[in-house]
Amino acid sequence: MEAGQSSSSNSSDEVWAKLVPSDSSYASIEISSDDTIVCSQISSTPDKLEWCQIIRNSDRCSATIRNKSSNLILVDGAILESEDVVGIKCGCEIVPASTKKEYLSFKFEVMPVQEQRLENKLKIFLDSEHTKCSICLNVWHDVVTVAPCLHNFCNGCFSEWLKRCQKKHSNVLCPHCRAVVQFVGRNHFLHGIEEDILQADVSLRRSAEELAILDSYATIKSSLVITNGKKNRQKRARSPIHEEREEMELPCPQCGTQFGGFRCPESIAHLQCHACGGMMPSRSDISIPQHCVGCDKTFCGAYWHAQGVARTDQHPTCELETFRPISERRVSIIPSVAHERNQFEQDITNRCIRQMGTTLQEVISDWVTKLDNREIDRSSLHLRHPEIITAGTHVCNDCYNTVVSFLLYWYRISLPVHLLPLEASNREDCWYGHACRTQHHSVDHARKRNHVCRPTRGSQR
Has residue 233 been placed in a domain?
A: no
**What domain range is 412 assigned to?**
328-450
Within a 10 A sphere around the Cβ of 325, how many other Cβ atoms? 15
Q: What is the pLDDT of residues 54-63, one digit of tens each?
A: 999 888 888 9
- pLDDT at 213 > cutoff 80: yes
pLDDT at 245: 42
For residues 275 and 299, is the Cβ–Cβ distance under 8 A? yes
Select from 74, 91, 116 the last residue of a domain: 116
Within a 10 A sphere around the Cβ of 230, how many other Cβ atoms? 10
> Which ranges of 218-291 does DSSP label H, i.e. alpha helix?
240-249
Select from 85, 116, 147 the last residue of a domain: 116
Q: What is the pLDDT of residues 92-148, one digit of tens each?
A: 999 886 544 456 789 999 987 544 444 445 555 667 788 899 999 999 999 999 999
Residue 270 and residue 189: Cα distance in Å, rounded? 23
Has residue 250 been placed in a domain?
A: no
Is the domain of 96 the same as that of 180? Answer: no
Residue 384 and residue 221: Cα distance in Å, rounded? 11
Phi, psi (degrees; rounded to nearest 5) at 192: -65, -40
pLDDT at 64: 94
Q: What is the pLDDT of residues 312-322, one digit of tens each?
A: 888 888 888 99
Instruction: List, in sequence order, every residue forming a beta bridge with 147; answer none if it has no partner.
Output: 183
Is the domain of 149 the same as that of 219? Answer: yes
- 3-state DSSP call for residue 323? strand
Say if pTM beats, i.e. exceeds, 0.75. no
Has residue 270 been placed in a domain?
A: no
CATH number at residue 77: 2.60.200.20
- pLDDT at 416 > cutoff 80: yes
CATH number at residue 193: 3.30.40.10
Has residue 388 been placed in a domain?
A: yes
The amino acid at residue 93 is E
Axis crossing angle, helix 155-168 with helix 208-217, rounded to the nearest 10: 40
For residues 318 and 345, is the Cβ–Cβ distance under 8 A? no
Is the domain of 140 the same as that of 27? Answer: no
DSSP string, 358-391: --HHHHHHHHHHHHHTT-S--TT--SS-GGG--T
Work out the mean pLDDT of the chain and round it to a whole number: 85
pLDDT at 34: 87
Residue 429 confidence class, pLDDT cut points 50, 70, 90: very high
Q: Is 12 or 14 the better-scoring residue by pLDDT? A: 14
Has residue 18 been placed in a domain?
A: yes
